[in-house]
Amino acid sequence: MLNVEGVYKSYRKDGWFGHSRHQVLTDISFEWRKGECLGIIGESGSGKSTLGRLLLGIEKPDSGIISFGGKPVAGRRSGRVGLSAVFQDYTSSINPFFHVRRAMLEVLPRASDDELEERLLQVGLDASYLPKYPHELSGGEAQRVCIARAVATGSPCILLDEAISSLDGSVQMQVLELLKGWREKHGTGYIFITHDIQAAAYLCDRIMIIRHGRIEEMVDAADLQHVKSLYAQELLRKVLL
C-alpha cells in the first residue's frame, strides 16, 4: 500500500545560500504492506526521521517516488496521505493551552464527550482526563492521548517516530502493549521508527536497518539474530552486551 522507490534527499550545508549539500538519504526503496508493522532502525543521524517526514508528505524528496494507495504523498497533508503520526516530543504534539477535550476535537470536531471518552478508553484513559491540560499529564498519559488522536483519524497506518524513547522503561512497555493490542483488535499497521532494536523486535514483523542514509538490511523480526551485514551484527552485539 505504501511504496517508496529510489528516494534521495539532501540539504544545503550552509542554509539557503549554500552551494554544497549534505546527502541524507540515498536510493531508498521498500514497501509497507497493509496491516504490518515495519520497523525502521538506525543510529542518530542515519536519516530515519528524515525518511519519516518524507513518508508523511511534510517534506519532498529530491528524486524518487513515495506513494500511498497508488497516489503520490508529496504536497499532501499527513492526514490525507493515509498515515497518522505520533512523535517523540509529546509535550509539543499537544498545544499546552488546550485541554485533552479540545486536543481530541482537533481531529474529531463533531464528537460528543461520550464519543471522546470512548476514544480515550481505547488507550486506557477515562473521561476524567478530558478537562486536563498537558502539564497535568504524565509522559505515558500524554503519549496515550497522542495515540488516541492518531487512531481517531481512521488511518490504516500510524507512523511512530521515536514515540517511546523519552518514556520510562515500564511506561514504554505499557505503550508497546497498547499498540500491539490495538493492532490485533483493529488491524492497524505501523511504521515504527526507532533506535531501540529490542522494542522493534517486540512489535514489528519486519525490520529495515538504515546506515548513513542507505538501507543496510531488511529482515523479518523473527530472523533478526541471523542478520548478515557486519553493521547489523554490531548493533545486535551492543544490545546483547
What digits encode the pLDDT tens for the residues 135-171? Answer: 999 988 999 999 999 988 888 999 999 998 888 888 8
What distances in angstroms separate CA 169 from CA 173, 181, 183, one per listed residue? Answer: 6, 18, 21
83: nearest Cα among 137, 33, 22, 153: 153
Chain Cα centroid distance, residue 106: 20
CA–CA dist 69, 129 (Å, integer): 36
Say what the pLDDT of residue 78 is.
46
CA–CA dist 177, 53 (Å, integer): 25
Say what the pLDDT of residue 160 is.
96
Residue 64 belongs to what H/E stretch?
strand 63-68
CA–CA dist 32, 160 (Å, integer): 14
CA–CA dist 40, 197 (Å, integer): 9
Three cell numbers written together for 237: 552485539
CB neighbour list of residue 184: distance below 8 Å, 6 or more residues apart:
none
CB neighbour list of residue 204: distance below 8 Å, 6 or more residues apart:
37, 38, 39, 190, 192, 221
Say what the pLDDT of residue 2 is.
94
Residues of the chain falling short of pLDDT 50: 78-79
CA–CA dist 114, 126 (Å, integer): 10
Say what the pLDDT of residue 15 is.
65
Three cell numbers written together for 111: 464528537
Class of domain 2-93+154-240: alpha beta
Q: How many secondary structure helices (H) and strands (E) does the chain include?
A: 9, 10
